[in-house]
Amino acid sequence: MYKPDYLMMTPGPSIVRENVMKKRSEFFGNPDLDEDFFIFYDKLAEKTAKIFGCKKESMILMSGEGMVGLDSACASLTEPGDRVLVIENGLFGAGFADMVRPYGGVPVTLSFDTKRKIDIEKVKEFLEKDSNFKFATVVHCDTPTGVLNDVKEICRLLKSKGILTVVDTVAAIGGEEFNALEYGADIALGGSQKCFSAPPGITMLSVSSDAWKAIKGRKTPIASFYCNLSYWEDCVEKRLFPYTMPSSDLMGFDMAVDNMLEEGIENIVERHHKTAKMCRDGLKELGLKLYLEDDFSSTVTAFYVPEGFTVNEFIKRLKDEYKIFIGGSYGPYADKVLRIGHMGESAKTEYIERTLEAIKDMLGK
């Protein structure tokens, strides 16, 4: 049996509250046929929309973790030959190019320093020369480094050029401010296992009226069944989901959303700011070097592995000896960078204290 005994401080999945686990264990009914399940889904979409800052009708809750959301946005918007502007300063951002190509999209990547947020002025300059794009992609918090982008300004700029936006806010929403309608984000997407603090399994998307227009105005059919968003537009009215909904996942997710709304989004964002700062200050006090100098997301802190350790050794010792599990990183940062997640339920001062204490002890300080 798989039964972890550690404090989970990884940058997703995050800690799941007991009431969410309990809800998942309850009898789930028939999500295909039961009228009450559609009512439940509709209410859950309405509650989730409050967190995304969009209308209930814009909200889609799909089976699958975050990547299904990214894939669905790309599959549903991209037609063969469409140029897509991939604005990136990290691995998730750059990865969008690989997600539009299978649908015949032509990605044009605009790259930025991974240690800084995306430079709006440079995006503006670029768009003055070339703005012939169907849509653009951008990541709110690029998790492998924890850099936070100003998606509000980016979405507004793109909208002013008539370019649709796809915003991956999987690692930020519920920990940083976000508002799809106010920002004009056309498709924004999240995952259940980050700041929502539910187990992986659900991806949430807000789809604007402009995005629906683009999806419905396509000249070519969407080249995917599972990732075809058009099935979702009026699935509640039609009482027909494109596939059997993961009822236990959604019941747990519903509890997690209730937990969030009870605390209040503003309070949650403030709690994340506080714990993130505490984490950064604590690491610096221990003589450790943060990966970023500025533009930190409040959901994850990346820092260089201390001398005398490899990333894997550090993680293993913290896990085995102190029962605290933190993350390494990916790509160019894989053997250099460690990451502490403070997302949702993990963003608590007591957990940060425990983690910092353990690191201090391990470093012999």
Ligand X SMILES: *Cc1c(COP(=O)(O)O)cnc(C)c1O
Which of 123/173 has CB closer to ligand X? 173
Using CB positions, name the residue nearest to ligand X: 66
The per-residue b/e assignment along 319-337, b for 16 or more CB within 10 angstroms, e otherwise, is beebebbbbbbeeebeeeb
Task: Provide, rounded to whole angstroms, the least separation between the CB of residue 89 and ligand X.
Answer: 12
Which of 92/351 has CB closer to ligand X? 92
196 vs 281: CA distance, rounded Å: 25
Which of 96/351 has CB closer to ligand X? 96
109 vs 94: CA distance, rounded Å: 7
Task: Provide, rounded to whole angstroms, the least separation between the CB of residue 44 and ligand X.
Answer: 19
Task: Provide, rounded to whole angstroms, the least separation between the CB of residue 348 and ligand X.
Answer: 20
308 vs 302: CA distance, rounded Å: 18
Q: Which residues bind ligand X (CB under 6 A)?
A: 12, 65-67, 92, 139, 142-143, 168, 170-171, 191, 194
Which of 69/105 has CB closer to ligand X? 69
Task: Provide, rounded to whole angstroms, the least separation between the CB of residue 213 and ligand X.
Answer: 26
Helix, strand, coil shares, percent, the chain, to 5 = 45, 15, 40
Which of 97/362 has CB closer to ligand X? 97
Using alpha carbons, list the distances in angstroms from residue 243 to 81, 199, 221, 239, 263.
30, 20, 19, 12, 33
**Strand ranges inside 66-192, DSSP E:** 83-88, 106-111, 135-139, 141-142, 147-148, 164-168, 187-191
For 83, residues 6+ apart whose C-beta sits below 8 A from its C-beta are: 105, 106, 107, 108, 132, 133, 134
Closest Cα partner for 286 from 278, 297, 294, 296?
Answer: 278
Which of 20/204 has CB closer to ligand X? 204
Which of 170/340 has CB closer to ligand X? 170
Task: Provide, rounded to whole angstroms, the least separation between the CB of residue 152 and ligand X.
Answer: 17
DSSP 193-227: TTTT-S-S-EEEEEE-HHHHHHHHT-SS--S-STT
Task: Provide, rounded to whole angstroms, the least separation between the CB of residue 175 and ligand X.
Answer: 11
Task: Provide, rounded to whole angstroms, the least separation between the CB of residue 174 and ligand X.
Answer: 12
